[in-house]
Amino acid sequence: MNVIPVRQDHRRGSVLIIVLWVAFGLVALALYFAQSMAFELRAADNRVASLEAEQAITAAARYVSNVLATADLPGKLPDVTLYRQEAVAVGDATFWLIGRFEGLLTEGQPAFGLVDEASKLNLNTATVEMLEMLPDMTPELAAAIVDWRDTDSDTTDSGAESEIYQRLNPPYRCKNAPFESVDELRLVYGLSLDLLYGEDANLNGVLDPNERDGDLSPPYDDGDGWLDSGLLDYLTVFSAESNLRTNGESRISVSTPDQQTLGTLLEEAFGTDRAGAILERLGVAATDPDGQGGQGGQGGQGGQGGPSGAQTTAPTNSSILEFYIRSGMTEDEFVQIEYDITVSTNDSVPGLVNVNTASETVLACLPGIGTEFAAALVAQRQAQQGDLAYTPSLAWVVDVLGETNAITAGPYLTAHSYQCTADVAALGHFGRGYQRAKFVFDTRQGSPRICYRQDLTHLGWALGRDVRDLLWLAKHMQ
């Protein structure tokens, strides 16, 4: 009689243990699913944030398109104070336009704004000599770049044509046609990624912590606290100036000035007397019906007025800057007709460098400027900035370069910009879902058109430390 209750106690104990194990298992399962659901939720939340950021990038592209469409003059980029470029809210998302500094770098903090494509050297028009002036560029690589785009198969000095590319593994052919993007440089013989990106691994124009720590973390850098930019920062394939006047008609060529058309333009701008004086100074034959003639033409700098008579030939001008110098116009006068004249008969002129936005490094590549005058040009430009309503002009360049150098540099310079880059970085809610895409806009047709888009999310965080700190604060204040 005593044995049975003992067995029952045993059984009860075993049942209790089993129940406890089952309960424990159920709790563990519940915890496991809860954890996994939390992960799932977090992942879904991040996906939502990424989608928000993508939407913000699309919104940013529309916004930039609107900003460009409402510019007060064609060929004039809006001043950075006239549009929003930093922490712009779109619903729960935010976007930034990553720009480039004019002047001093604030360590690690990017500049925000649009980037002018005419501030860079054009890969499709730059000569070997101009390319060679870029930092870390070798004569071999400069020659290989020109060989890549020129239609012939004659190797330029130490360049590279198909013969060399066929020996690579895998072999390919030299393109022998214009570059369509700057990234295409990767295919050019002798070009390394180090040269393309320099120390700026995330292409934001500033030194980030991994770009100033030597070889502690990629990329390799010299740790000197100064950003050595790669070629990508100085080159473009998009710069091309529209050859239309503000009224939509073709610009008037002053290459070999024609008395009639130029005369009409000058008369409309400055009146008959002043127009006559400018034409005379230019040595343009005057065949007025009242028989005043072109006698006494001075011919400008070293030019010849030619024998007096109705059909003298005026000296040709290689650029509108040379025309300006020869004409004896004042700076204010030249600005009034600068949009109306050209030396080209094409619809657009590729590769001109905007002297009002180009960096010292880019200006130094141009004939007539070089390292001797590039810094002085930038200093002069910074000193005269500030007037938002200004009409962009080239005329001031003569004061810095002198007439001879200005005439040499003239064919490569412009004061206008018809293409710009919007490098958009965006975040979704709570600063999550970082995305980045770069757009190039072309305004030659009037309404801005996107001619290039590239995703740059893979380059990682590019908004600098301040934005990251602000996000951290916002997150922990909630």
Q: Which residues are near Ca ion by CB under 5 A? A: 147, 150, 176, 200, 202, 204, 208, 210, 213, 221-222, 224, 226, 228
Q: Which is nearer to Ca ion, 98 or 275 (CB)?
A: 98
Q: How far is the CB of 31 from Ca ion (least distance, A)?
A: 42
Q: How far is the CB of 466 from Ca ion (least distance, A)?
A: 14
Residues 356/392, Cβ–Cβ less than 8 Å: yes
Q: What are the residue ranges of helices labelled H in 191-316?
A: 193-197, 259-270, 272-282
Compute the distance between CA of residue 38 and CA of residue 34 in angstroms, rounded to an integer: 6
Q: Which is nearer to Ca ion, 117 or 200 (CB)?
A: 200
Query: What residue has token string 């301040």?
Result: 466
Compute the distance between CA of residue 369 and CA of residue 362 in angstroms, rounded to an integer: 10
Q: Which is nearer to Ca ion, 166 or 385 (CB)?
A: 166
Q: How far is the CB of 26 from Ca ion (least distance, A)?
A: 51
Element (H, E) at 453: strand 449-455
Q: How far is the CB of 81 from Ca ion (least distance, A)?
A: 25
Q: Which residues of 54-85 are buried (b: 16+ CB within 10 A; e: fewer)?
A: bbbbebbbebbbebbeebeebbbbbbbeebeb
Q: Which is nearer to Ca ion, 125 or 443 (CB)?
A: 125
Q: How far is the CB of 197 from Ca ion (least distance, A)?
A: 9
Indicate the pairing of strand 235-236 with strand 240-242. Answer: unpaired
Q: Which is nearer to Ca ion, 147 or 340 (CB)?
A: 147
Q: How far is the CB of 62 from Ca ion (least distance, A)?
A: 27
Q: How far is the CB of 189 from Ca ion (least distance, A)?
A: 11
Report helix, strand or coil for 88: strand
Tokens linked to 77: 């980029």
Report helix, strand or coil for 381: helix
Report helix, strand or coil for 45: helix
Residue 416: CB atoms within 10 A of its CB come to: 22
Element (H, E) at 237: none
Q: Which is nearer to Ca ion, 176 or 380 (CB)?
A: 176
Q: Which is nearer to Ca ion, 222 or 332 (CB)?
A: 222
Query: What residue has token string 């000193």?
Result: 383
